[in-house]
Amino acid sequence: MGRVVGVDLGATHTRAAIISGDGRIEKVIVARTPAQETDPSRLTGFLMGMITDLAGTDLRGTFTGIGLSVAGPVDTRQGILVNPPNMAFRDVPLTGPISQELGLPVRMVNDCHAGVLGEMYYGSGGGREDVVYITISTGIGGGVVSGGHLLLGRQGNAAEIGHLHVDSTYDLPCGCGHTGHWEGYASGRYLPSFFSAWCRYHARPHWGPDRAEDIFTSAREGDDDVLRFINDVARISARGISDVIVAYDPDLIILDGAVIRSNADLLLVPIIESIDRYLPLPGIVLTALSGNAPLLGAAVIARGYRTGYGDLGSPVSS
């Protein structure tokens, strides 16, 4: 298998990498995503600029394809980024324009579907048939392999688990416009606003952290209120994971994303302790791929939509 370019478009940062046929990341670059822009050409130009900065302008003959891992919702059959709640872009055609400009096949999947493919091929999911990949980062999402097949849904958005309803006590808004969703509480973007609401509800002083990192730092410094709040965050995430378990009955759950990877010491044990035991508890592990699962999954689909876990659909461009 030849070398490919994999791109992981996130709401905060975008990564582009050259990936060998055996899944080795040879070179990677990172840039801040222009998530507040609204002009579709701004996004396609940004992605093409990253790819050419990484791999040069003459990609044909050197690479076999380009794979895009994209924070959804998406329409994979049309190659369109639809309406991501953590970015301002709407209905952006990606695969067609990038393929036309760079002269290579471009294939796209939801970032969490890419993540679970990366784990199945190169990580902890290998040799299993029922795996859920969960990322807790700027947003929250999931990818599911069930019975050895990747669950896609109608347009490639199955397992949008960040929009499971997990709470009615605080009833906080999510970026999608609805309330009570997991992402609106426990994701990196919304943890500060959840902390503010938590302080008001419990009549505790609120010192106004703007970043999730500041909240976790205070927890490690022993702030009793913040530690109580972190336990509530863990309870919320356990509610979401409990729903995932009864929905998909996985053998293994793989946790990824900056929030959980950087703060597993504070979150992982209380999450596991709070998960419902209606069904047997599956294995729950942190990713061993250092956050690279979506990039590696993008490399898988860069070589073709027919994967070892099902046919992801006909490519828009060839």
Residue 129 lies in a domain: yes
Residue at 269 is within a domain: yes
Residues 105 and 230 in one domain: no
Do residues 89 and 198 both lie within one domain?
A: no
- Cross-strand pairs, 16: 7, 29
Same domain, 62 and 104: yes
- Cβ pair 257, 267 in contact under 8 A: no
Q: Provide the residue range defining the domain that includes 144.
A: 124-286
Residue 61, C-beta contacts closer than 8 angstroms, at least 6 positions apart: none
Residue whose C-alpha is closest to residue 294's, from 137, 149, 155, 96: 137
pLDDT digits (tens, 9 = 90+) for 43-78: 999 999 999 999 998 898 899 999 999 988 899 889
Identify whether residues 164 and 75 lie together within a single domain. no
Q: Verify that 307 and 273 share a domain, yes or no.
A: no
Instruction: Establish if 318 belongs to a structural domain.
Output: no
**255 part of a folded domain:** yes
State whether 11 and 92 are in the same domain.
Answer: yes
Residues 170 and 281 in one domain: yes
What CATH number is given to the structural domain containing 51?
3.30.420.40
Distance CA 1, CA 78 (A): 26
Instruction: Tell whether 119 is covered by a domain.
Output: no
Kindly report the pTM of this predicted structure: 0.94
Please check whether residues 236 and 298 belong to one and the same domain.
no
Strand stretches in 37-188, DSSP E: 66-70, 74-75, 80-81, 92-93, 106-110, 131-136, 140-146, 149-150
Please write the tens of the pLDDT for every residue from 265-292. Answer: 999 999 999 999 999 999 999 999 999 9
Would you put residue 103 in left (φ > 0), alpha (ψ -120 to 50) or beta? left
Q: How many CA atoms lie within 13 A of 217 on its CB side?
A: 7
- Number of independent structural domains in the chain: 2
Average pLDDT over residues 30-47: 94
Domain co-membership, 150 together with 38: no
Does 253 share its domain with 224? Answer: yes
* Residue 217 to residue 117: CA distance in whole angstroms: 33
Each residue's pLDDT tens digit, 209-264: 889 999 999 999 999 999 999 999 999 999 999 999 999 999 999 999 999 999 99
The CA angle 225-237-88, to the nearest 5 degrees, is 100
